[in-house]
Amino acid sequence: MHRIQLSAPRTSGISDSSCFHEGFILKLRMDDNIVGFGEVAPIEIHQEDIIDVEEQLRFLFHRVKDCELDVVPLLRGSFSNWIWTSIGIPPSSVFPSVKCGLEMAILNLLASQRKCRLSEILTGSNPLLRDQSLVEYNQNSSAGIHICALLDSDGTPMEVALAVTKLVDEGFTTVKLKVGRRASPAEDAAVIQKIREVVGYKINIRADANRKWTYKQAIEFGSRVKSLCLQYIEEPVSSVHDLIKFCENSGLPVALDESIDNLKGGPIQKLHQFVHPGIVAVVIKPSVVGGFENAAHIAKWAHMHDKMAIISSAYESSVGLATYIQFAYYVDRQHDLISRLKRYDSCGTVAHGFGTYQWLTEDVSEQKLKILVPPLGDGMGASVEDAHGYLHHLNINDEKIEKTYSEEKLNSYSIQVDGDHFSYVVKVQEAGDCTNDKVVLFLHGFLGTSEDWTPMMKALSPSARVIAVDLPGHGESQILQRDDENFNQISLTIQSVADLLLKLICNITDGEVVVVGYSMGARIALQMILNENHKISGAVLISGSPGLRHEASRRRRTAIDKSRAQFLLTYGLECFIKTWYSGKMWTSLREHPQFDSLVRTRRKHSNITDLSKVLADSSIGRQKSLWEDLKHLEKPVLIVAGEKDVKFKEIAERMCSETREYGEREADCRSNQELCEMIVVPESGHAVHVENPLPLVRALRKFLVRLHQP
């Protein structure tokens, strides 16, 4: 994680006025010492913050380390497919800045491996370049891009005009001014007027309102600058309807920026609402739109609709800038090629939005990324070769790095807990600071083990002391009988396992614990929070149930699970697993790319006899219904269900509804905090923590924060 000094606060208009910028430098390495760098540095315009990003990076680090990286054909939908098939994560759940940084590191790694520029890696994936004449044209094009200066236009009109004069003297031919922050649009227009008076019309001026104006204010600004030859006004208003109306009534050219930032799903279909010819440019921040793949699609759409595609940074260090420069060069070449294919003249040189480099008074490396006026003097720019060389020879300055992260190993140990007629030897895995007063205990479902939680534990270890156990009969845990003749007297019901775990908690910590349980583990967690309030501060119930309300239903389910337990003993674990996962509840899990590897982990249970006893004893049919007990709930509960898990989503909704109906509690709980909260995780079924874990990680961390608020 790096922290670098900026010369001034960022210009988004919603900055915290800090003159520092934080982010993460990713370093991917192949066996032969080939390295690729990426950067993840969210700012206030991103939906995610630095803590969100660190969680996802820790989770993904665990998943990515063994993946094949050289199978990624680029910019044709395959990177998102690689995230799904190789990492097992729905691409939509990866934060845009994280996806961009990971993609950046992989692109740079592949360029290093193939000993070529990143722009050549990108070009090789484009079907437009299959014609050899176009390939030659691409290779002979000038390998550089133009850069637009950025100016936060504080000060009097003359002061701003003089600042622009200085930028022009440095070699800039395009300048973007921030507007919409003065008392009235008339004052912003006066600044533009003064610049034209002082500098003249030899430069392009762009104005960026960041959606600050009402439609009426935007029209007023437009009427006052109509004769001042703006290249465009960027995002003058906040709604699409007003934006199109502004295009039609003002006569000013318009550029998109924020309007494309949050286009979920297929962005191309949603871009059709912006085909109006008055929209002349699209400003694309790869870290905001979700990486280079998405950015390339948006840029191609812009070119096909005769609009400029302007690649823009978001105050990244030179690592990000050097990569964006090469990507912008690729985008420019695609524009030239599309113009040739469509037989029309291109809109001329496009200046990309990398003026943020002037904010960097420090950088992550002692090396300098060259931004300069080329020998022919046709505007401030950057060379693709220089950008490639910067990354190829990059050495990170350790003084700018606040902390580093490499593979974290879990601490594994065993604890013996005594029950009636037997002892439970628990395999425990732990991560995080053992002195942290935020303690989380993870409980897996039937056939699972503590290892099911490993990626999530590594993601959350900076926020809490995280502990996972192998439940009785599972994994490496053991049930030690005191008397072989009394095996049938051993009770492994949900209640008895909850009692054992409460004893375990007392051995592990003197403080309170948040219990996170999945499926069978969720039933145990609910029993624990209802049993023993002074040791449990809260619970997260994933795909769980309070039990069956009616005696007849419980008897039927008891018989079913008893039969299943006998099937397991008779036919063995392999056959049982095939039958178990053929059920309707696992439909979406069977479609998961890592389903086969998950099934392989289910074959590692050491004692089938104990496992079958757990199945019979912990049957939801043998469990007391806890629906009525919900009225006695005194500690906060987060209930989680998968979007595709219709049955358990309905159960979760009923649990929340009935808990809230009981009204105000007399319990010692926070007066302003709801006891029961529910979230539905998209793109997942019953096994939420496997099918779409990243939203669950974020929800769990936020739940922990709320629990510990004063």
Strands 144-147 and 411-419: unpaired
* 318/385 Cα distance (integer angstroms): 14
Catalytic option among 176, 300, 535, 613: 176
| DSSP class per residue in 139-190 | HHS--EEEE-EEE---S-HHHHHHHHHHHHHHT-SEEEEE-S-SSSHHHHHH
Q: Taking a C-beta distance cutoff of 8 angstroms, is the pair 587, 689 a contact?
A: no
For the purposes of burial, counting CB atoms within 10 Å of the CB of 171, is it exposed (0-12), middle (13-18) or buried (19 or more)? middle
* 461/519 Cα distance (integer angstroms): 23
Distance, C-alpha 374 to centroid of its chain: 39
* 308/681 Cα distance (integer angstroms): 37
List strand residue ranges (DSSP E) for 372-446, in order: 381-383, 411-419, 422-431, 439-443
Task: Say how many C-beta atoms besides its own lie within 10 A of residue 470's C-beta.
Answer: 24
| DSSP SS3 for 553 | helix
Q: 627: closest CA among 654, 667, 666?
A: 654
Q: Which residues contact 707 (CB under 8 A, 6 or more apart)?
A: 514, 537, 538, 636
Question: What would the two tokens of residue 620 be?
Answer: 């939801």
Q: Which residues pair with 37 in a beta bridge?
A: 27
Q: Burial code of 591-615, b = ≥16 C-beta within 10 A, e = fewer?
A: ebebbeebbeebeebebeebbbbbb
Q: Can 427 be counted among the known catalytic residues?
A: no
Q: Can 285 be counted among the known catalytic residues?
A: yes
- The CA-atom distances, in angstroms, between 60 and each of 407, 685, 699 are 11, 21, 17
* 12/181 Cα distance (integer angstroms): 11
* 50/42 Cα distance (integer angstroms): 6
Instruction: Output the CA torsion sign for 620, 624, 628, 633.
Output: negative
* 52/54 Cα distance (integer angstroms): 6
Question: What would the two tokens of residue 479 be?
Answer: 């049930």
- The CA-atom distances, in angstroms, between 581 and each of 431, 586, 590, 591, 596 are 30, 6, 8, 12, 11
* 331/353 Cα distance (integer angstroms): 13
Catalytic option among 99, 285, 307, 644: 285
* 302/281 Cα distance (integer angstroms): 7
* 10/41 Cα distance (integer angstroms): 13
* Residues annotated catalytic, as ranges: 176, 285
